[in-house]
Structure 1
Amino acid sequence: MDYSQVFPHGRTTAARPDRSHSLAASGYTSWDAISESLLRARADARAPSARSVRSQQTQDSRHGLQNAHLRGPASESGTSLASSGTVSSRYSSSPVSSRHAHGRSEDHDARQKSERSRTSDSAFRRGARFLQKSEALRPYALVLTLLGIVLVKWCVGLGGYSGRLASPMRGDLEAQRHWIALTSSWLNGSTFLHLPPSPTTRLDPRQWYFYDLSYWGLDYPPLTAYHSLFLGFCARLSRSTARFVTLRPPATSSVTALRAWDEYMSALEIEGSLKLWMRASVVVGDAMVYLSAVVRYCTRNYRAQAGDDRSGYGRYGGRIERRMLAAVLTIGLQPALLLIDNGHFQYNSIMLGLTLWAVNCFEDGRDVIGAVLFICALFFKQMALYYAPAVFAYLLGKCFWLGRGQGLTLFVNLGFAVIATALAILSPFLSTPDTILQVAHRVFPFARGIFEDKVANFWCTVNVVIKLRTIFSEGTLARLALLLTSSAVAPLVVLFVCLGYWLGRHPGARKPARAAYPPPSTRRSPALSLLPLSLFSSAMAFFLFSFQVHEKSILLALMPLTLLGCCREAGEGRREWGWAVLVNNTAAFSLWPLLRRDGLAIQYFALLAAWNGAIGYNPWRLRGRTLKGLSLAAYVAFACLHGLEAVARPPRHLPDLFVVLNQTVAAGVFGLAYLWSWKRLLQESWAMLGIWSERDTAGDGK
């Protein structure tokens, strides 16, 4: 049996585990057995096999039919196997087995459980159920869901943004607009495009990373520059929008010219048309790249549970379709991403979307295409480096898993594709060494220091007690950051390589090369199920320990964790769901100082309250004392800090007191989440090894 069918990241249930003992009944004492039992019980809880049902019936008969509770797969309505008719008629027809010891019928309990399940449904699930049960709306359920997400994003964008009317530098919206004007100046010679107002300087790509570095010098990789060039091309198609891409005169220009340009931009901001056009560019890019990747991910990983019913409306299809729509809403309306991209103003969703498309390709077995897409994400924003150790470790581990011949072929193909993609993107800047060195210098600005603003990471938290910059030089701090970051992510690479090598030595974990199976290049490694968790662990390690971290970088850790949290819609991952919501809320809280400066307080509180309510989150009902206690303590701290900030002002000698407290509390939650991710990685990988060892042993016994 292919391991990817049992424990894929998408949690496909086409194949069932061979055994379904609960943890308490298993009698296992070793960590190997405990982890294996956890995974088996988790998979079996979704839809037990016929063997597991027979085992449950036998166990119930030993304890007496009058106390038998023949439980089945948890469904959306909470029905049991006894009420659904899947239990043997020998037991379902028994008058004794249909009643509890207290005389209540199991049908009555099933109805009560179904009613409780419906009343505790989240708003997203209820909305998805409404769309699915309407004959007129069902064909357009996904389209209406996406339109709802876009509408919410647009409403968030109606608020303030970074640096509004804050002359002369303004903020991130002006930075992005300036880069659009800078790169699109290359098009000034085109005859069919409209020219913006003066100046009409024409700059070719070799000059982009040198132009007027004192005013929002371009400091993102070339793919961001190409994206800005494309937006500038679109703006120049119309005379009314061509004025948005007016290039600011160099800093060496006269004071009169600079003042005239500043007044012109202030008039555009007050008019509001520039803001609407820039907001539209974010929403369209988000829908084309990020939301499409989310839909593909959810469609593949949730509709696959319907088995052979490709229409999605078979026995379990309607329920799976509703869960898929609820997952799309949960991921698509992630508060922190909306507040940064659609509020503060950035294009992070494009980088995250390219990464998620790479994950989708890895799940489809198209590793080379996935590697190319990840390189594109890396060349769109250098923050995608946070994911690089996990992606590299997974692909290298798969090469070991495939074996010497097939693995070497995949390794060579990956290397060629990565190098060719990088050279193609960098080709306009390879004319001279000075140009490519300037690109590297702008993309990795080590001279800025270990942090610029207050960030909820290790360095900013330690700096509260130990003033790092007064003790260490910037070079020493850079080396310390490199050491800590490498120490945090190196075990991840070792884990995947060792796991791939070990699984490659076991014939049960690797299908033989036969015509009935897909070609080696498209096979799914068993370690694929660990990829989202490893992406989160790698991104969080970089956020906590790396050099020159921005508060917005937490978005990279949130994306894979939110994907894991949405596994609850697939009937599992409830512990991951609790951690995902906690870290999402903590991330939004850590962004509060930035959002308050941008005038996004209403959007912050409204979006957080609406999202948590819509997903049905209640920290009092979380499973696990540790997670529940941590969540409640964190939310009490958040509420106290918000209340204190509303009624009091910080002391004059400590003007950043509230900001430092905010970042310190958030850093504590992030650090614990990072440790939890490693605990889960070790448990899942240990269980994986135990399962395949048992399969090989059973195969040898036969």
Structure 2
Amino acid sequence: MAAATVDRGTWFPALAVGVSLLKALFINAYHSTDFEVHRNWLAITHSLPVSRWYHENTSKWTLDYPPLFAWFEFGLSHVARHFDKKMLAVDNLNYASPATVLFQRLSVIFFDLLFIYAARECCRCVRNRRGGRNIFNLPSFVLAVLLLWNFGLLIVDHIHFQYNGFLFGFFLLSVAKHLQSQHLQGALLFAVLLNLKHIYLYVAPAYGIFLLRSYCFTEDDVDGSIKWRSFSPVRLLALGSIVAAVCALSFGPFIVLGQLPQVLSRLFPFRRGLCHAYWAPNVWALYNVLDKSMATFAVRLKLLNETTLPPASMTGGLVQEFQHSVLPSVTPAVTLVCTLLSILPALSSIWWRPRGARGFLRCLVLCALASFTFGWHVHEKAILMAILPLSLLAVESSEDAGIFLLLSTSGHYSLFPLLFTPAELPIKYALMMLFTIFSFAALGKLHSTQGSLLHPLEVVYLSGLVAVAIGCELVFPLSPWQQKLPFLPLLATSVYSSLGVCYSFLRLYITLLRRGGGRKSKQQ
């Protein structure tokens, strides 16, 4: 026990402090329009009454997160006024004074403390299952690095600019509580998370089925040998009360004001197109490029008139609705049906063949990946919702480690277009290379007795990312295509990355189904 205490007291704080210092170096780096989005939300929540929060539209970056996040911005604004009051003026659009930049960057770093704590709790779960027998617990150390130094989270939050670390802190802490069989605490944390950012609805089915099956149904012994599962209405009531209380605190004021429909219209803007301006690397990217290729081929065969096809309708870099040229156009209802069908086997698995909290974690990753793969207007940053929890599985299973290497490498590379300025070019490549090299080396060391973590064709695919990067970053800018097809690098990055993401999704599902016939786990 003393050795484990020394272990926990030395390397984990060093990793946490080191990554925090690295984040501080990015304070003056490039920031995206998301920086202005959050500055505007600070201004809205500070300067306007609650009744106008979800109606204000001076800026096109209107408030479109759930109410708890609005209250989070409201609290931040009272600290922000001590840095620069001008940032809190609603009509002061695109305001980015040095004090404003400093405050918003520091606020992201500060609230990452929750993510650091959550990562520590997740490492404790790995240590408990491994038994903590060694002074240097390698699985726990590897997991800490994979979480705290995650490449995607670093560039999305601390260069591009968002508060994902704060949100993933709730997410991973909730997962850790379930791994520790503290289900009510885990449910409370997830309910709070949903009311901070509704994109986590992606994994809500996994939470719902797991808690109903493993918490609301309890095991009873009969004669010391026969077991059956009995339903506990008290536990279901406890879970329902937690969710209802959090939602009431979050949405209650807007229900009283009669503004619930207005709030929901901001949270679910289905008028946006199937894909974001930059296509997320999912099945719809492949669908779009197939449609585009078929349309081009049809025009050459004179089966279609080129004048009837809108130029760059899908690759123009704009958020908009569009119709496919040859293939059937996809509606929100179609994406919803595809998503539900793709998660049903995973949900059925944890219901009929429960494998404890580890089975829940696998189902959670599959739900996140399914929603990313088939969802409507998915943002490329949402891939982190699958990569981060998959890290926990990767340190325990060689099969999951191989899937993690595929998903994290292709998924992280798909984030490269977020940083397109020359100054950040060496930063993103250096961070990506360091994280990827560590992931391959550390997971290879952890599972050294299991042979290669990747199949030969998978290695070939990952090697192809190097060719795509060279083509997009070095060859394309010097080619004549730069003027005619300016969004070709985005297209190439998205489509090639989508092959890795979709393949990882299928491989993870195969792993689930292959293990599905195994013995039920007693761990809940």
TM-score (ref. length: structure 2): 0.83
Q: Tell me the equivalent position of 2:462.
A: 635
Residue segments in structure 1 that go unaligned for 5+ positions in a row: 1-131, 163-170, 186-202, 250-260, 308-315, 501-525, 568-572, 693-702
Counterpart in 2 of 1:459? 284
Counterpart amino acid of 1:674? F
Match of 1:248 among 90, 114, 130: 90
Could you tell me how far 1:551 is from its partner in structure 2?
A: 1.0
Residue of structure 2 equivalent to 1:666: 497
Q: In 2 relative to 1, CA 475–243 (structure 1 residues): closer, same or farther, beyond 3 Å?
A: farther
CA pair 303-400 structure 1, distance change in 2 beyond 3 A: closer
Is residue 444 from structure 1 mapped to residue 265 from structure 2 by the alignment? no
Equivalent position of 1:256 in the other structure: none
Partners of 1:223 and 1:624 lie apart in 2 by 47
Find the counterpart in structure 1 of residue 225 from structure 2: none
State the 1:642 CA deviation. Answer: 1.5
After superposition, what is the alpha-carbon deviation per residue over 1:520-568, rounded to whole angstroms, capped at 9, x for unaligned?
A: xxxxxx421112211111101000101111111111111111221233x
Q: 1:35-434 residue pairs with structure 2 within 5 A?
A: 139-162=9-32, 171-185=33-47, 203-212=48-57, 214-236=59-81, 238=82, 241-243=83-85, 245-249=87-91, 261=92, 265=95, 268=97, 272-287=98-113, 289-303=114-128, 305-306=130-131, 316-320=133-137, 323-398=139-214, 399-400=216-217, 402=219, 405-433=230-258
Instruction: Provide the secondary structure at the position in 2 that maps to 1:677.
Output: helix
Q: Kindly report which structure 2 residues correspond to 1:524-673, keeping only aligned pairs within 5 A, or say none.
A: 526-567=355-396, 573-597=397-421, 600-615=424-439, 617=441, 627-645=454-472, 646-648=474-476, 649=479, 650=481, 652-673=483-504
User: What is the one-letter code of the residue matched to 1:318?
Assistant: I
Aligned pairs for 1:460-499 (under 5 A) are: 460-466=285-291, 469-470=323-324, 477-499=331-353
Matched residues in 1 for 2:78 and 2:193: separation?
22
Q: Aligned equivalents of 1:138 and 1:361: distance in 2?
A: 19
Q: Whole-Å Cα distance in 2 between the matches of residues 417 and 138 of structure 1?
A: 33
2:222 matched residue in structure 1: none
Q: Which runs of 5+ in 2 are unaligned?
A: 220-227, 293-321
1:527, 1:262 → 2: CA distance? 50
CA distance in 2, matches of 1:229, 1:325: 37
Residue identity in the other structure for 1:489 = I
Q: What is the one-letter code of the residue matched to 1:585?
A: T
Shift of 1:374: 0.6
- 1:430-459, Cα deviation, whole Å (9 max, x unpaired): 1243x1111100011101121122221111
Q: What secondary structure does 2:136 align onto?
A: helix
What displacement does 1:142 show? Answer: 3.0
- Deviation digits for residues 368-401 of structure 1 (CA, Å, limit 9, x no counterpart): 2211211111111111111112111211221345
Matched-pair contact (CA < 8 Å) for 1:220–1:381: yes
Q: How far off its partner does 1:243 sit?
A: 2.3
Q: Counterpart of 1:227 in structure 2: which amino acid?
A: F
Distance verdict in 2 for CA 1:493–1:324, change over 3 Å: closer
Native 8 Å contact 2:282 2:374 kept in 1: yes
Distance 2:383 2:135 in 1: 35
Judged with a 3 Å threshold, the aligned counterparts in structure 2 of structure 1 residues 472 and 449 are, in CA distance, closer, same or farther, namely: farther
Question: Could you say which residue in structure 1 is the equivalent of 2:301?
Answer: none
1:464 aligns to what SS in structure 2?
Answer: helix
Describe the SS at the equivalent of 2:385. helix
Cα distance, 1:337–1:206 mapped onto 2, change above 3 Å: same
Cα distance, 1:597–1:548 mapped onto 2, change above 3 Å: farther
- Give a deviation string over 1:330-361, Cα, whole Å, max 9, x none: 21101011110111000111221111111122
Structure 1 contact 400–497 (Cα < 8 Å) conserved = no
User: Which amino acid in 2 is paired with 1:678?
Assistant: Y
Question: Who is 1:194 aligned against?
Answer: none
Q: Secondary structure at the match of 2:256?
A: coil
Read off the aligned partner of 2:211 and give its amino acid letter.
L
Q: Which amino acid aligns with 1:212?
A: N
The alignment-based identity, stated in percent, is: 25
How many Å separate the matches in 2 of 1:323 and 1:211?
A: 49
Q: Distance in 2 between matches of 1:672 and 1:614?
A: 22
Distance of aligned partners of 1:330 and 1:216 in 2 relative to their CA distance in 1, 3 Å threshold: same
CA drift of 1:659 comes to 1.4
Cα pair 1:161 1:599 within 8 Å, conserved: no
Distance 1:660 1:618, change over 3 A: farther
Report SS of the residue matched to 2:276.
coil
User: What is the CA distance between 1:599 and its match in structure 2?
Assistant: 5.0
Task: Give the partner amino acid of 2:242.
Answer: A
Q: Distance in 1 between matches of 2:254 and 2:329?
A: 28
Structure index of larger Rg: 1
Q: CA deviation at 1:276?
A: 2.0
| Higher deviation after alignment, 367-376 or 620-629 | 620-629
The alignment of Structure 1 onto Structure 2 pairs a total of residues equal to 474
The secondary structure found in structure 2 opposite 1:687 is coil
Question: Secondary structure in 1 aligned to 2:56?
Answer: coil
- Residues 159 and 600, structure 1, Cα contact 8 Å, conserved in 2: yes
1:624–1:422 Cα change, 3 Å: same
Calculate the aligned-residue CA RMSD, in Å. 2.9
Aligned-partner Cα distance in 1 for 2:363–2:191? 18
Q: Decide whether aligned partners of structure 1 residues 247 and 560 sit closer, same or farther in structure 2, where only a CA change above 3 A counts.
A: same
Distance of aligned partners of 1:328 and 1:626 in 2 relative to their CA distance in 1, 3 Å threshold? closer
Shift of 1:184: 1.7
CA contact (8 A) 2:23 2:154 kept: yes
